[in-house]
Structure 1
Amino acid sequence: MTGFTLHLMRHGAPELTGRMLGRTDCDVTDAGIAACVANATGLNAKCLIASDLRRARRCADAIGTPVVDARWRELDFGDWDGLAAAEIDADALGRFWQDPDHHAPPGGERWSALVERVGAAIAALVPQPTLVVTHGGAMRAALAHLCGMSHLQAWAFDLPCASVLTFELWAGTPRRGQIRGLRA
């Protein structure tokens, strides 16, 4: 059975920090772009894909010519989007972290919807070495989709800006991913 390599890279450091950055379309720092370019070196991807949000798209543009796919966007934090955790009701935020499906942010996206969206993007990939420049939430959703992890397991992964998570994927199996490595 033949497979292909899927690299997921988190965008570089955003100009806005310490906030719930879902659909908030902020820019990325020059150092963040440089870190992504450096970490893409040697990945030998034949296909480059980027989230449509500026912080991911600008990093991908510096690496090559990406195909833009909105399915790789971050989780939509709804009314909390762009806010610092201290600006959100602590009990509501705690309920969200414990059960993001039943306690999604007001007006926001449920965790299972993100996993489904990212799963559809993965299913649409052409089987060739691919690099996707995306977001921490989408990378964790890929872990859940490909490896059958719960949200708590997927959220336990530390995925700093510009880090790369690598999977080997095989066609025809329901859970078709195997984690090969994480590079920060």
Structure 2
Amino acid sequence: MLILVRHGQTDANARGLLLGRADPPLNETGLRQARALAAALPRATRIVSSPLTRARHTAAVLAGAARGATEAADVEVDPRWIEMDYGDLDGRPATTLDEGSWHRWRHDPDFVPAGGESLAAVCSRVREACLELADDAARGDVVVVSHVSPIKAAVTWALGVGDEVGWRMFLGDAAVCRIDTSGPAPLLLAFNDARPVDGSDRPDR
């Protein structure tokens, strides 16, 4: 199983700011979310993370909980799972961008915000990463700790739909997606699953 985990909350997330390559740490809520994920998720054979602090810290908590398992792996950092580069918009509210630019960004995957990265570029690097993990994920649980845009890109890969479909998805802090890669085509089993964090997915419930 390919298990995609959005990192825990940061202060910028809580304030609703666009958070791309800026590198703030998890806040207290984010740390609690990471611990809840570690308690609820299955022990992984591989744990892969974006290079950004908020993802690496979440992944480190997961790895710490898994080290007692026979086949648990240390965290691997893969830059292809880094968040979209928002360029000049990083750390700013979404309202900074005018309505016309928002419309173009949401309908044209090749649109590049000033100093940033296109959605098409994000999807290209994530598809490559997914293909490389697919065989291992077919044999065991592979956890990837990443961000909103790369995880949505992985979901569009699994569904075989256009890059722009990612704009029609919502992914909460510390939410989990699951993709079965054991068959002839990827199969999306869960999207934006908050149960590991809210406690309803724990064995004692």
TM-score class, shorter-chain normalisation, is 0.7 to 0.9
Alignment check: 8 A CA contact 2:123 2:163 kept:
no
| Aligned: 1:45 with 2:44 | yes
Match of 2:158 in 1: 146
> Which has the larger displacement, 55-64 or 123-132?
123-132
Identity of aligned residues (%): 32
Matched residues in 2 for 1:168 and 1:144: separation? 14
Select which of 119, 122, 141 maps to 1:111: 119
Match of 1:58 in 2: 57
Deviations 1:3-35 (A, max 9, x none): xx0000001111213221111111111221221
Matched residues in 2 for 1:86 and 1:165: separation? 28
Matched residues in 2 for 1:153 and 1:100: separation? 10
Alignment check: 8 A CA contact 2:149 2:166 kept:
no
| Aligned: 1:121 with 2:129 | yes
- Which SS does the other structure have where 1:8 is aligned? strand
Match of 2:81 in 1: 72
AA aligned opposite 1:7 = I
Unaligned segments of structure 2, at least 5 residues: 64-73, 195-205
Deviations 1:36-64 (A, max 9, x none): 33124232311111100111111111111
Return the offset for 1:86. 2.2
RMSD value, Cα? 1.8
Higher helix proportion, which one? 2
Q: TM-score, normalised by structure 2?
A: 0.79
Match of 2:25 in 1: 27
User: For this pair of structures, how many residues does the alignment match?
Assistant: 176
Match of 1:97 in 2: 106
Return the offset for 1:168. 0.3
